[in-house]
Structure 1
Amino acid sequence: MAALFAGCTGPTAEPGPTALPGPTQSSTQTSERPSPPPPSGSPSGSASPPETPSGAVSPGEATAEPTPSPTPEPPPGSPDLSLVAGWSLQEKVGQIVIVGLPVAGPFQPTFDMLRDQKIGGVFLHGRTTAGRQPVKDLVDAAVDAAARGREPLFVATDQEGGAVQVLRGPGFSDMPSALDQAEMPASDLRAWSRRWGAQLARVGVNLNLAPVLDLVPQETAASNEPIGVFGRNYGYTAESVITHGNAFAQGQRDAGVQTSIKHFPGLGRVTGNTDSTVGVTDTVTGPDNPSVAVFEAGIESGSGLVMMSSAIYTRIDPDAPAVFSPRVVGLVRELGFDGVIMSDDLSATAQVEKVPAGERAVRAVGAGVDLVLASARPSVAPAMVDALIRAARNDPAFAAKVDAAAARVVAAKAGV
């Protein structure tokens, strides 16, 4: 732990996945970076029998077995509730919260939450150049702290590349930005992503909150604070984002690391960053916008998780941030997605700061979110857990949503 602490850079209260990335350092001696390739195009009627009296059976005739009615297919998003049958409410709620584990410390508060509140996931946040072994030691300690839980931990991080790369140093490649990745042939990008994913898997990270599938118009990229300013987008067209974003995601999954495409239904049309700005609003994106179609392609490609934006989308639901809107969250299910819908960080984002922390979690799950992320300020996670338990005890309909969410998370952990 001391080695990791000493090798970390950046503030201990690191902003979440859509935050303004802080300066980072990397180890040039051991890091790998693909040589910038030249721009290239995108890769990927019979007769009736004699009557027999009702209820009678003709002599010698076998009684026919009734033809069973086909079992109706469950609607999209319906989980297998048997996965959490017999679980306590505390255990189910723990599965639907993922808490920050600062790579620069302190570590013990998060370890205590894993033990005491049965939280089922950690998010490695901050910045470190310490390299593979100290990160693996930290992950092993987190897994040990949660050892009495029913399910293995989700161990997540942000390893997009460019300005957003939590883990650096010996054992981690120096990853180019998504904008640079989009210059590679898709087959090459998938191969590089498989290598980057294997580096995560070696230290116990099994979930990368990437790739960014936000569609950013080139003419407004310089004013798009959360994505365009930092080159987090896979080019400027839907074709490029789909081709290269999916190639990155497939490479990660090839290495055994699950992916969460983000930030539905897209942050490419906003100017402010929801982590640091209040009232971030998109007045362009509607249900049939190309931004939504990009996410549909990401879902069809096989991503097991989708992260919600915290912006407001006036053409879908003008009355609530997407993460709190049943209408916007429901749109993900309408695309045929039956996996885990997760929030962006709800612990310290300015967009929802006026809502008490516990209520943020309740509103998100009530809207249909399955996994609540409390990364930048992990200290609020206990309040979220307590609020979710209270809401489930007081409202059977909400309790059913908790059951469904926990079942989806458990299924995702099993790779179902």
Structure 2
Amino acid sequence: MSSSAGRGHAQHRGRTTLAAAAVGLVAAATLTPAASASGPATTTTAAGTCTALTMLRRMTLEQRAGQVFMAGTPATAASSTTLGLITTRHIGNAFLSGRSTGGTAAPKATTAALRARVTSSSTSSTPLLISTDQEGGAVQVLQGSGFTRIPTALVQGGSSAATEQANAATWATQLRDVGVNMNLAPVADTVPPGWYNPPIGSYDREYSHYTSGVSVSSGAVIRGMQSRGVATTAKHFPSLGQVKANTDTTSNVHDSWVARNGASVNPFKNAIAQHVSTIMVSSAYYDLIDRANPAVFSGPVVTDLLKGSLGYGGLVMTDDVSSARAMTPWTPALRAQNALAAGVDLVLGSADPSVVAAMYDHVVSIARISAWWNARVNDAAYSVLLVKQQQGLLGNLC
């Protein structure tokens, strides 16, 4: 087991989040035949009272591990790879990638195909989080008839918060109409005036050049989207607005400006106050916080700062770790392991879902032989299931 996995043990001691508390209830159950890999737990609950914990306890280890991954598929048609992952690897979440410009028919058919793979044996009948990137400007996956052509975030930021919230509610309704229940937005990064920033600033993905404006606008988007039943994702913690290269296309990207108590973190503090569903962690290095590890693998960033100092108890996810150039020094298996060890709960394999199987297989293998890793998988899966519960996806499954 790598040194990063060992660090994970220390990073998670003393966690007091709701998810960590639930692990104490589930960890013991995983040692009994009722909750072993041989079959689901036999938990009895009243009809209509299904909760994240109830679903977790009825899942096998393999199904719990599947909840920890999100695999990509073209928005225009469900890929056989991702459909297969839901069936054979119990993957519990999907991402619509690329661009679909022909209106609602194609993405609606894609999400229907994904949902059809949800069975008692694949995901314990637990619905998928189906996400996409519907930011606006150059980053809008779903387009055409039935979808508003969303302006860039910088243009959106010129409107009042009330207008932004109302617009976000409309866009969320359009997503729900085609079966998408999660948006990997808003961007909560701040690009200072005149700053050269390839991943965010070059595409006007920031709402403002000042953290106060980013906080107001991203908060409005969170409220608007979530008011219509679409989970939101503040990204890319602790801010990707001051790097000089794009982690998708460049390795070893460092930020020398963002600090634990710096202003760049403020929009994420506000997102937490707005009850954001998810926070996505950057794949860059932050020299003033942890210069030895990219943020997505960093206990000081994820566990100490985000979950500790900022008090965030919700779902934490990676940026794409399937094909981003920043991830090339690590095998797919170690990318998943390192992220989970740092405190991340959901691993995104959007650009190249073919590597998700190796990630999943490795996580299951170490969870089978390590009580700590078994509990870590439970903790992460529980965080995912809580979002599904909050989105009303668990309903009357019990």
TM above 0.5: yes
Q: Over residues 101-144 of structure 1, what are the superposed CA-to-partner deviations in whole Å (9 max), with x where a residue is unaligned?
A: 11245611211111111100000000011211221111011000
1:37 aligned residue: none
1:406 aligned residue: 381
1:94 aligned residue: 66
Contact 2:76 2:110 in 1 (8 A): no
1:315 aligned residue: 288
Q: How far apart, in 1, do the equivalents of 2:119 and 2:174 lie?
A: 23
1:226 aligned residue: 199
Q: Over residues 345-381 of structure 1, what are the superposed CA-to-partner deviations in whole Å (9 max), with x where a residue is unaligned?
A: 0000101112001110011001110000000001001
Give the aligned residue type for 1:399: N
Give the aligned residue type for 2:307: R
Q: How far apart, in 2, do the equivalents of 1:79 and 1:264 lie?
A: 25
Give the aligned residue type for 1:362: Q
Residue 80 of structure 1 aligns to a residue whose secondary structure is helix
Q: How far apart, in 1, do the equivalents of 2:157 and 2:255 lie?
A: 25
Q: How far apart, in 1, do the equivalents of 2:118 and 2:19 lie?
A: 28
Contact 1:100 1:124 in 2 (8 A): yes
2:230 aligned residue: 257
1:208 aligned residue: 183
Residue of structure 2 aligned with 1:114, choices 75, 81, 86: 86
Residue 128 of structure 1 aligns to a residue whose secondary structure is coil
2:42 aligned residue: none
Tell me the CA shift for residue 75 of structure 1: 4.3
Mean alpha-carbon deviation: is it higher for 327-336 or for 153-162? 327-336
Residue of structure 2 aligned with 1:126, choices 98, 101, 109: 98
Aligned-residue CA RMSD in angstroms? 1.6
- CA distance 1:113–1:75, change in 2 (3 Å): closer
1:272 aligned residue: 245
Residue 286 of structure 1 aligns to a residue whose secondary structure is coil
Contact 1:216 1:236 in 2 (8 A): yes
Find out whether 1:179 has 2:154 as its counterpart: yes
Contact 2:322 2:348 in 1 (8 A): yes
Q: How many residues align?
A: 343
Contact 1:160 1:178 in 2 (8 A): yes
Contact 1:326 1:367 in 2 (8 A): yes
2:135 aligned residue: 160
Give the aligned residue type for 1:80: A
2:210 aligned residue: 237
Tell me the CA shift for residue 305 of structure 1: 0.5
Q: How far apart, in 2, do the equivalents of 1:200 and 1:75 lie?
A: 31
- CA distance 1:396–1:107, change in 2 (3 Å): same
Show structure 1 runs of 4+ deviating over 6 A: none
Gaps of 5+ in 1: 1-72
Q: How far apart, in 2, do the equivalents of 1:140 and 1:405 lie?
A: 26
- Identity fraction in percent: 38
Mean alpha-carbon deviation: is it higher for 101-110 or for 404-413? 101-110
Q: Over residues 376-402 of structure 1, what are the superposed CA-to-partner deviations in whole Å (9 max), with x where a residue is unaligned?
A: 001001001001011212322122111
Contact 2:75 2:99 in 1 (8 A): yes
Q: How far apart, in 2, do the equivalents of 1:346 and 1:130 lie?
A: 28
2:349 aligned residue: 374
Give the aligned residue type for 2:192: P
Q: How far apart, in 1, do the equivalents of 2:369 and 2:317 lie?
A: 23
Gaps of 5+ in 2: 1-14, 27-52, 392-398
Contact 1:312 1:320 in 2 (8 A): yes
Q: How far apart, in 1, do the equivalents of 2:241 and 2:366 lie?
A: 34
Q: How far apart, in 2, do the equivalents of 1:124 and 1:339 lie?
A: 23
TM-score (norm 2): 0.84
Q: How far apart, in 2, do the equivalents of 1:231 and 1:339 lie?
A: 28
Bigger proportion of residues as helix: 2
- CA distance 1:299–1:320, change in 2 (3 Å): same
- CA distance 1:387–1:176, change in 2 (3 Å): same
Give the aligned residue type for 2:221: F
